[in-house]
Chains A and B, each alone.
Chain A
């Protein structure tokens, strides 16, 4: 099967996608756009064991281009899991102690309903006919998954970047089902600058002649160039100037002098080209359009009548807000805005800004202070939840 080909029936793709469940048979999911959606598949993976009280479940919400393969070798890329440093036995999200669930988001391209799948109503690939989804829609689909799994409430919901947006949406929409919430490198609304970056990425994809108004799968092509350029630009925003300077400086790539042409003279150019090219092999271009749109539409305060604190009135969840000082995509000021809103309702909140050069991507990397904060917060929360010590 071609990864950009027609969606497989849910039963024979387990190795690639993990578990798949068809949700919305009883009642469809009503999307923010007004569309009644479903039945639809959600692919997910779980790690660890649910305890008898069903009180140790942690929902991991993934970021824009990540997926449910949190730990272990990725079935498509062969790379280690994106959160191998954080999730596993003895790790901050200790799978000897907690039951970790990670679903692929609605609109994604790793087994959950998305634009690269067959629309059961037409028998054709959705492509541009896939409905626009929001962060809130993604969360509602996760709620349906948890109901399917028989998990009444979450010990913790955690995620970085877009995952952090989902965490905030969970805490605002389902406060009684969230004991602890950890939004990392996140924001309560997508900033104008970030919408601008996303728009450039989308325009790069849509300007590729192979995009074909979104119908590229039907024509057996992929908008490779457009998607690669979108990824190259986005990748810069995930790093910091310091990190780029340390990693590459002005070093030349496999040459002793400038070529006086437009080859990848500099290592940083070569690196970005590689990032773009490998991304095309694992991610669907239309999915990229839909998920970036979902992030752009996210504005928790607007949904709460214009004032963010209103989104959290009466919350009893314990919050741990984490930012990174070199992150200029979701800077600390965004996290501080969340903290101020939580303080305004006297919520139980911890907030720590971690010092690192790693930029936005720091939440994926081995940053000991970050992991110590996660571990300590979760230990304290588990104590209050009455979970047995791990």
Chain B
């Protein structure tokens, strides 16, 4: 396989790229993801949709941007814009990529729709030095209230489809996600709570009450336990 240390950006291509003319401003939740990404890095956006984030990253941050999208229409839109996107499925098509091939692998609002989220998560941090994962928080107070007060499968402004039609087959709370990350050896470098519209959540939703007050979460991840946590474990073993 390729040496991950070798930059694969072609020396022949010195991109001097202009942003796509007339491109609409980037959606706020995508902008939040974009702000986590260092300029000039290599990025794979899994579930890239119509390519809005990829286009932004390529033209505004000089990123070597690639995408994977399951829908034919999304892929068509991306390729017709000149973006490097392949038709593929997060559940099955991530295994091909070599380890550490990208600086960041993004999975926006998709983890809850895949068949094997744990496996997908492990693939994300294998392929990328970092992964950026966003998903709706099942622990949000509105969700809890819906179930408690009405006794029905929660429907909120984030989770707005009825249970029999929703694509969200693997919902979890922030706390569930933290525990999964710990169990599979993934470090949460950063967590950002956001509103359903992608605005940063209030100051209260950032602290210990995030699991109650955060509607959506954007998580910056990397493989391996944090040194502090490993230290704790070593002490525990003693």
Contacts and interface: CB of A to CB of B under 8 A. Distances in A.
A351 interface: yes
Interface in B60-74: 64, 66, 72
B148 interface: no
B200 to A, nearest CB: 33
Interface string B81-110: 111111110000100111001100000000
Contact of A386 (B14, B84, B97): B14
B1 A344 contact: yes
Given A351-B75, A385-B13, A313 B87 contact: no
Contact of B87 (A353, A369, A377, A380): A353
Contacts of B98: 344-346
A353 B72 contact: yes
Given A313-B2, A316-B12, A380 B76 contact: no
A351 B86 contact: yes
Which applies to chain B's interface (DSSP): helix, strand, loop or mixed?
A: loop
Nearest to B65: A348
Contacts, number: 95
Given A313-B2, A343-B96, A353-B72, A386 B82 contact: no
Nearest to A381: B82
Contacts of A384: 10, 13, 15, 17
B49 to A, nearest CB: 15
Contact of A343 (B75, B81, B86): B86
A380 B83 contact: yes
B81 A376 contact: yes
Given A313-B2, A340-B96, A376-B80, A346 B8 contact: yes
B237 interface: no
A316 B10 contact: yes
A372 B96 contact: no
Contacts of B101: 346
B179 interface: no
Interface residues on B, range: 20 to 34
Contacts of A347: 8
B16 interface: yes
A4 interface: no
Interface string A311-353: 0011010101100000000000000000111011111111111
B81 to A, nearest CB: 6
A107 B63 CA distance: 45
A345 B81 contact: no
A379 interface: yes
A369 B76 contact: yes
Nearest to B74: A352
Contacts of B12: 179, 316, 385
A320 B66 CA distance: 12
Interface of B: 1-2, 8, 10-17, 64, 66, 72, 75-76, 78-88, 93, 96-98, 101-102
Interface of A: 179, 309, 313-314, 316, 318, 320-321, 339-341, 343-355, 369, 372-373, 375-377, 379-381, 383-386
Given A352-B76, A380-B82, A384-B10, 13 more contacts: A313-B2, A318-B84, A339-B86, A339-B88, A343-B93, A344-B96, A345-B98, A349-B66, A349-B84, A373-B76, A376-B80, A376-B82, A384-B15
The 7 lowest CB-CB distance pairs between A and B, nearest first, are A380-B82, A376-B80, A351-B86, A346-B101, A343-B96, A384-B13, A316-B10
12 contacts: A313-B2, A343-B97, A345-B2, A346-B97, A348-B84, A349-B86, A350-B83, A352-B85, A372-B76, A372-B80, A376-B82, A386-B14
